[in-house]
Amino acid sequence: MRIIKTTLENILSLIACASDYGFEDGVLFDAFREMLDGKLTNEEIETYARSVEAMEGYGEEDYEEIKERLKSFKNKYCS
């Protein structure tokens, strides 16, 4: 079996934008949960959302939306 590695930032980015591209479904999110070992902290969510907000072209509205999407994922898929 081939092992594929990625960063937490990449996984959170994919979760945050999944619904924008029509990929928000249980099978994909279960795979992300497995990649995260079922753990996602509020601090990780906050750090990622703030990093996006700091990028050119993004702002407070983006921060809030990303934070909400990631919290929703956490509540549904992570312990």
- Tell me if 61 is assigned to some domain: yes
Question: How many domains does the chain fold into?
Answer: 1
37, part of any domain = yes
Tokens 């960063």: give the residue: 7
Is there a contact between 70 and 45 (Cβ–Cβ < 8 Å)? yes
pLDDT tens-place string over residues 3-33:
888 999 999 999 999 999 999 899 999 999 9
3-state secondary structure of 79: coil
Query: How does pLDDT run across 35-59, given as a tens digit for each residue?
Result: 999 999 999 999 999 999 999 999 9
| Residues of the domain holding 68 | 8-14+22-77
Domain assignment present for 58: yes
* Residue 2 domain flag: no
In which band, very low, low, confident or very high, does the pLDDT at 79 lie, cut at 50, 70 and 90? confident
Q: What is the pTM of this model?
A: 0.91
**Does 3 map to a domain?**
no
Looking at the domain assignment, is residue 1 inside a domain?
Answer: no
* DSSP H or E stretch at residue 42: helix 42-53
